[in-house]
């Protein structure tokens, strides 16, 4: 990819012509060129028409056959935790419990004695030992230091004695277990103590690392899912301030706190949040046995944990709707999703369905759906903010979902095709650091879902990971490359472009050029994924691949 400069001016006012590639745009399925002016797309079209612009722009970029797409939006991220996972102890690749403990020992030796140690990513279901590390093992491996290690789903954690000693009264809190992972109130308190020990410098470095990583992957916007049970207000506001002052991915903040009235909604807005949404927990997770189910777990004689009931959900939705604020919830199990639907419907009965639909409330994860709850999502205008990498990691007949639920119930999870057929808006995200930032991997996971009837086309998945994220925060003008749209785009080195759908008959027709359907990279499992060469947000380059 080469550049030539016709004139010099301030970066935010430069007019740029990109040409000689493929531009993924609904305005012209055969576009090879694009003009960007004042942070917005000014024109897309053919190579021949681009000649008319070449003499009047500040910069010409020869794409050399590269693909230009809208930048991705990751609709569910924990940014500071993602940065800490990138810069801290990552146990996600540890093949055994013994290896994980070895990594803890090495990490402890590499850090100063007074530091609180933070890690992430262990998953006992993948280890041959099939058990979590005991506190005694962690105390020994960490050499008596304070250590916090959340499970990969971040709904439970193990910690050393030294860290527990920093939390007064922890042994009396709900979710405390002497030698089992912490959940609920105890987990939240221990997490707060661990993160509270971070300096402002450590926090800022983690946030910058996460934003830089996102930019390098063609991600132009993140939905930060904060809240009093997840991080703290300082973490949330400092991230929004950092994102506002530096070139990089946009950050839309969601603050997961119940709202009872207009005053509560005002406070959420004063934090900089676009919604009282995100991880407002109705339940927990399947991996930690805390997702709330109608029927007991296959590997446990209980139905998980319920944090919010229908009445509290209805009150939150009603208060947010009246204040013109988006509401949203974390709900994974079928009982939790049912409670959300019942609560939102109760609010709609009180305020009117049109008002509730117009607010575009959202549900995070929404994994365990039924035909009835899918229809209710469509009726109530709920956006499903979902993570296809969850199915890639834990789906299938031998995966963690099947262990927790049995194969029959597990096969109902994450029914993306049924959601789209019903008209439910989808927004894709990673829940990073639960699964890594990786937008093309997510689109691939949705197109090659482990349960075939839930698969969707690459085009539908791509839309959910671009325009879907913008629409999920009430912005309909972004996430696509058309004149007037924000110039948030990524440039990719990739192989031949294809149109890929779950149905081969449709695929054969759609790849005919006469179909007018823009192609996308081949996301067949095993195919090489596109490489990000450049990421641009509001017309400013925020990432450039080295040596390109």
Q: Do the beta carbons of residue 20 and residue 33 sit within 8 Å?
A: yes
For the chain, the farthest-separated pair of C-alpha atoms sits apart, in whole angstroms, at 73
DSSP 484: T
- Length of the chain (residues): 548
Say which range, 97-106, 185-194, 366-375, 478-487, has the weakest mean pLDDT.
185-194
- What Cα–Cα distance (Å) separates residue 508 from each residue in 21, 31, 133, 500, 515? 24, 22, 51, 9, 10
Q: Measure the CA–CA gap between 288 and 471, rounded to whole angstroms.
A: 31
Taking 80 as the threshold, does the pLDDT of residue 4 lie above it? no
pLDDT score, position 1: 65
Question: Of 11 and 181, which is predicted with more confidence?
Answer: 181
Asked whether the predicted pLDDT for residue 508 surpasses 60, the reply is no
Q: Looking at the predicted structure, is the pLDDT value of residue 8 above 80?
A: no
The predicted structure's pLDDT at residue 514: 45
Task: State how far the alpha carbon of 238 is from the alpha carbons of 155, 215, 224, 232, 274, in Å.
Answer: 24, 19, 12, 10, 16
CB 186 within 8 A of CB 143: no
pLDDT of residue 326 exceeding 60:
yes
Give the pairing type, strands 40-45 and 89-90: unpaired
Share the mean pLDDT of the chain. 92
Neighbours of 95 (CB within 10 A): 10
pLDDT-based confidence at residue 325 (cuts at 50, 70, 90): very high
pLDDT, residue 515, reads 52
Beta bridge partners of 69: 490
Query: Which secondary structure element, helix H or strand E, spans residue 408, and what is its range?
Result: helix 407-410
Is the pLDDT at 438 greater than 80? The verdict is yes
For strands 250-255 and 219-226, give the pairing.
parallel
Tens digit of each residue's pLDDT (9 = 90 or more) over 167-203: 999 999 999 988 889 998 999 899 888 888 888 888 8
User: What percentage of the chain has pLDDT greater than the value 70?
Assistant: 95
Global confidence as pTM = 0.89
Q: What percent of the chain has pLDDT over 90?
A: 82
Tokens of 49: 């028409």
Q: Rounded to whole angstroms, how far apart are CA atoms 74 and 82?
A: 13
Whether the per-residue pLDDT at 79 is higher than 80: the answer is yes
Average pLDDT estimate for 502-506 = 55
Tokens matching residue 4: 């030539």
Before 346, cis peptide (omega within 30)?
no
Element (H, E) at 330: strand 326-331
Q: Give mean pLDDT, residues 521-527.
A: 95
- The whole-number pLDDT of residue 88 equals 82
| Cα angle 299-181-141, degrees, rounded to a multiple of 5 | 125
- pLDDT tens-digit profile of 92-146? 889 999 999 999 999 999 988 878 899 888 999 889 999 999 999 999 999 999 9
Looking at residue 335, its pLDDT comes to: 98
Taking the CA atoms of residue 318, residue 310, residue 432 and residue 386 in that order, the dihedral angle to the nearest 10 degrees is -90
In angstroms, rounded to a whole number, what is the distance separating the alpha carbons of residues 167 and 190?
A: 6
The average pLDDT across 237-265 equals 96
Token readout for 484 is 């007037």
Q: Which two tokens stand for residue 135?
A: 């506190």
């Amino acid at each position: 990819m080469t550049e030539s400069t016709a004139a010099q001016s301030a970066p935010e006012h430069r007019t740029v012509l990109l040409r000689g590639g493929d531009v993924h745009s609904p305005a012209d399925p055969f576009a090879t060129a694009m003009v960007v002016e004042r942070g917005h797309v000014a024109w897309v079209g053919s190579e021949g028409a681009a000649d008319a612009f070449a003499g009047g722009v500040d910069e010409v970029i020869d794409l050399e056959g590269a693909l230009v797409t809208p930048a991705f939006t990751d609709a569910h991220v924990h940014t500071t935790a993602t940065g800490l996972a990138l810069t801290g102890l990552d146990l996600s690749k540890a093949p055994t419990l013994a290896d994980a403990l070895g990594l803890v020992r090495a990490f402890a030796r590499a850090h100063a004695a007074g530091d609180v140690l933070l890690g992430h990513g262990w998953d006992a279901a993948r280890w041959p030992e099939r058990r979590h590390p005991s506190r005694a093992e962690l105390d020994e491996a960490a050499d008596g230091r304070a250590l916090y290690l959340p499970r990969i789903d971040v709904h439970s954690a193990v910690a050393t004695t030294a860290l527990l000693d920093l939390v007064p009264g922890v042994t009396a809190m709900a979710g405390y277990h002497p030698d089992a992972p912490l959940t609920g109130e105890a987990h939240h308190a221990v997490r707060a103590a661990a993160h509270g020990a971070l300096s402002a410098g450590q926090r800022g470095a983690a946030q910058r690392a996460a934003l830089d990583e996102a930019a390098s992957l063609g991600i132009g916007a993140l939905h930060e899912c904060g809240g009093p049970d997840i991080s703290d207000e300082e973490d949330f506001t400092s991230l929004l301030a950092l994102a506002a002052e530096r070139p990089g991915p946009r950050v839309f903040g969601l603050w997961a706190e119940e709202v009872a009235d207009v005053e509560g909604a005002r406070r959420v807005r004063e934090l900089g949040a676009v919604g009282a949404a995100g991880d407002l927990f109705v339940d927990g997770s399947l991996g930690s046995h805390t997702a709330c189910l109608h029927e007991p777990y296959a590997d446990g004689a209980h139905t998980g944990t319920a944090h919010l009931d229908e009445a509290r959900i209805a009150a939150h939705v009603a208060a947010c709707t009246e204040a013109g604020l988006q509401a949203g919830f974390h709900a994974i199990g079928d009982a939790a999703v049912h409670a959300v639907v019942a609560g939102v419907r109760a609010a709609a009965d009180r305020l009117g369905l049109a008002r509730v639909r117009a607010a575009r409330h959202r549900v995070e994860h929404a994994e365990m759906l039924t035909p009835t709850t899918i229809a209710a999502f469509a009726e109530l205008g709920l956006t499903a903010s979902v993570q296809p990498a969850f199915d890639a990691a834990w789906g299938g007949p031998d995966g963690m979902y099947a262990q927790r639920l049995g194969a029959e119930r597990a096969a109902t999870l994450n029914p993306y095709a049924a959601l789209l057929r019903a008209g439910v808006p989808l927004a894709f995200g990673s829940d990073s650091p639960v699964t890594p930032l990786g937008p093309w991997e997510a689109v691939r996971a949705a197109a090659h879902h482990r349960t075939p009837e839930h698969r969707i086309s690459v085009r539908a998945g791509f839309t959910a990971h671009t325009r879907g994220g913008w629409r999920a925060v009430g912005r309909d003008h972004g996430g696509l490359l058309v004149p007037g749209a924000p110039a948030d785009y990524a440039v990719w080195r990739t192989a031949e472009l294809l149109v890929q759908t779950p149905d081969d008959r449709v695929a054969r027709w759609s790849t005919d050029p006469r179909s007018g359907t823009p192609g996308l990279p081949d996301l067949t499992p095993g195919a090489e994924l596109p490489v990000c060469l450049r990421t641009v947000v509001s017309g400013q380059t925020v990432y450039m691949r080295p040596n390109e």
